[in-house]
Structure 1
Amino acid sequence: MSEDGARRESSETDDQQLAAVVAKPRSQVAIESLRAEGVYDDTRSITEWTADSVAVPVTAPPQETQFREVVRQVGERRLRTLDDHLRERGWSDEEIAAAPSSWAVLGSVVLVDIGDSPRPAEVGEALLALHGEAETVLARHGISGEHREPSVEVIAGDGDTETVHTEHGTRYAMDLAEVMFSPGNKAERARMGDIVVADERVLDMFAGIGYFTLPMARAGAQVTAVERNPTAFRFLVENVMLNDVDERVHPYRADCRDVVPGFAEDGRADRVVMGYYEASAPRADDSRAPPDASHEYLDSALDALAPGGVLHMHEATPDALVFDRPIERLEAAATEAGRDVEILDTQRVKEYSEGVAHVVVDARVQ
């Protein structure tokens, strides 16, 4: 329905080009809602309407999505692909072949692995033309450091790296120049919201900005969310309030190994989520462990988990060792703790890097 109670509609023929005008900050939410209504027209471009609004193309006036007004959008049909936009800019077929093949729109920011593409600034401008709701394009160069901090570069747009991304109804506020967000984990985030039971007790050992915490809490779980990166923790707290789950999320800025003893004394968790890739690495005294390998997290997870509880263990695993290595590590840790493991499911989440997969193992621990 119209935000201001007044809808401006044209009475012209059905071949008119309609657009719903929405505020820029909520454009992604509106697009998701319009898609759900079945009226979003993805054959036309989203265009700026005023300084603080965009015109989102629709096939009919929305009935469920909030908007300011419905207008007749005059303009050319959308150039459907990045290749189209680059070709219009005079790029050769060889240059286009080196252009990025994938990217993600996160709120008002386009996040792209630029690779060896020529003229990154032109790629950025083309992506802004392709995604009218976006205002900044960031080239992603990798993740490093103890706090898993991203290395990014603004290649087009106004340079604002703070945004709010909406995914399956969950809202994530973040600064993509300071905290990581993996678009490839979208299905796994949604799965965690589907898999929990209302009021069950969950420990999210590496909560970040709330990647898994938020969908689980929105589904009714009581989540203890632990994050030691101060910037990520700030966004975690903000996102808890943004999603109205403050009564179901208990955030701690700490090392999860320091939280587990008190948590276990207060009654163990029905479910533990280990979303950090290196959390199952061998102990530091194991010669096979890389110099910076995290250790003892798996032991802490088992200490926190109630008998019959479920553990979700994420790992970056060489393709040749999927799923054998993470299962072997889990079973070895459980045996040492005097516990039995039943593997419930395995998931290949995404490609982590060349020859390495991001996987997750779901296990019941007795």
Structure 2
Amino acid sequence: MRKVIRVPIEEAESLRLEIASSGRLDQDRRIKVIEQEERFLEIPVTEDIEGFETYLQEEPIFYNKWRSLEDRMKGIVPKDEIDLLPSGWQILGEIIVITIDPKIEHLKERVAEGLLQMYPTCSTVIRDLGISGQFRLPQREIIIGETTETINKENGCLFKLDVTKVMFSKGNLHEKALMSNIGANETIIDMFAGIGYFTIPMAVHARPEKIIAIEINPQSYAYLKENIALNHVEHIVEALNGDCAQLTPKGVADRVIMGYVNTTHHYLDQGIAALKESGGILHYHETTPESLLFERPVERIKQAASKAGRDVEILECRKIKKYSPGVWHVVVDARIS
């Protein structure tokens, strides 16, 4: 069993040495940083440690004799192609998702084999070829393995998905963690729910009175329903399949999440109308050119609120990640009254 204890960072080194000297430190796994309400180190152990609660590690990282994929491929890949190897990848459950430069297409099987040796708990390697269409469907190719459906564990939540059918981004962990800590006893509308990226952590950790989760993609909606059941939050979440332009109820929400990008501004009227007449909080996501950060999203919210005869107070603006060269995924939190 992959047991760990979680300890404050300032206490970690002395405790690690003590556990190692007693022979109870698992030398096969790396120590990990865990971001919750505060930062902890997750120390892998072989048995329970007195005075500490023991957890089962969700996504262990194993030591191996190769420090990196580059080290693993030396002697296998020509020197002039080493720099073209992928420097990062995504691990979802038992599946590794990678992007491979077309110039080393002929090496994809060797790359996949190397990754599976680095991550022995994984069984499938899939190549990411981008996304397309209104539903942002992933274009992906199986390199090694058969299974494309998995259950990914994140922040104490379970997310079932088929990586060839729906997207799952691990790049906005901080934003999902923020959302999981707000909304207690509120009515919340998640207008672009996907498979439950925000809905599930909010339902599991914040325990709102109700979440109305709306998703237009039938495949994502099917996994949203499964994830609601997997996480035992059926009594909190009502899932709707369809266009949020038509399905978003009016005047019922304390909080509205607009967690889509590219065309989110087309739905601002519906998002603001969903908030109670007494007011509420809007979490508005947008992909914005760096030259208009945060001017454009703030102005769009103000214009939509003015059109509805409502007032706006901007609470916070955040960068999530670089979306493309010169473009940022941002979030604006606004109080609408």
1:331 to 2:319 alignment? no
Go from structure 1 to structure 2 and tell me whether the alpha carbon gap of 1:279 and 1:203 turns closer, same or farther (over 3 Å shift).
Answer: farther
Tell me how far 1:37 sits from its aligned partner: 8.2
Q: Where does residue 249 of structure 1 map in the other structure?
A: 237
Tell me how far 1:318 sits from its aligned partner: 1.4
- 1:1-366 matches, cutoff 5 A: 38-40=42-44, 59-62=45-48, 64-65=54-55, 77-87=64-74, 89-116=75-102, 118=104, 119-156=107-144, 158-194=145-181, 196-218=182-204, 219-221=206-208, 222-260=210-248, 263-264=249-250, 267-281=251-265, 295=266, 297-306=267-276, 307-366=278-337
Number of aligned positions between the proteins: 300
Go from structure 1 to structure 2 and tell me whether the alpha carbon gap of 1:248 and 1:117 turns closer, same or farther (over 3 Å shift).
Answer: farther
**When the two structures are superposed, what TM-score results if normalisation uses the length of structure 2?**
0.81
How far, CA to CA, are the matches of 1:18 and 1:316 in structure 2? 43
How far, CA to CA, are the matches of 1:2 and 1:171 in structure 2? 18
The answer to whether the Cα contact below 8 Å between 2:316 and 2:333 also exists between their aligned partners in 1 is: yes
Identity of aligned residues (%): 41
For the residue of structure 2 that corresponds to 1:269, the secondary structure is coil
Go from structure 1 to structure 2 and tell me whether the alpha carbon gap of 1:177 and 1:139 turns closer, same or farther (over 3 Å shift).
Answer: same
Residues 255-305 of structure 1, C-alpha deviations (whole Å, 9 max, x = no match):
112222xx22xx520000011113434xxxxxxxxxxxxx3x110001101
Structure 1 residue runs without a partner (length 5+): 4-12, 21-30, 41-58, 68-75, 282-294
For the residue of structure 2 that corresponds to 1:277, the secondary structure is coil
Go from structure 1 to structure 2 and tell me whether the alpha carbon gap of 1:17 and 1:167 turns closer, same or farther (over 3 Å shift).
Answer: closer
The answer to whether the Cα contact below 8 Å between 1:39 and 1:62 also exists between their aligned partners in 2 is: no
Go from structure 1 to structure 2 and tell me whether the alpha carbon gap of 1:82 and 1:93 turns closer, same or farther (over 3 Å shift).
Answer: same
Tell me how far 1:111 sits from its aligned partner: 1.4
For the residue of structure 1 that corresponds to 2:310, the secondary structure is coil
Structure 2 residue runs without a partner (length 5+): 4-20, 29-33, 58-62
**When the two structures are superposed, what TM-score results if normalisation uses the length of structure 1?**
0.75
The answer to whether the Cα contact below 8 Å between 1:279 and 1:298 also exists between their aligned partners in 2 is: no
For the residue of structure 1 that corresponds to 2:179, the secondary structure is helix
Q: CA RMSD in A?
A: 2.9
How far, CA to CA, are the matches of 2:71 and 2:264 in structure 1? 45
Go from structure 1 to structure 2 and tell me whether the alpha carbon gap of 1:16 and 1:208 turns closer, same or farther (over 3 Å shift).
Answer: closer
For the residue of structure 2 that corresponds to 1:258, the secondary structure is helix
Tell me how far 1:15 sits from its aligned partner: 6.7
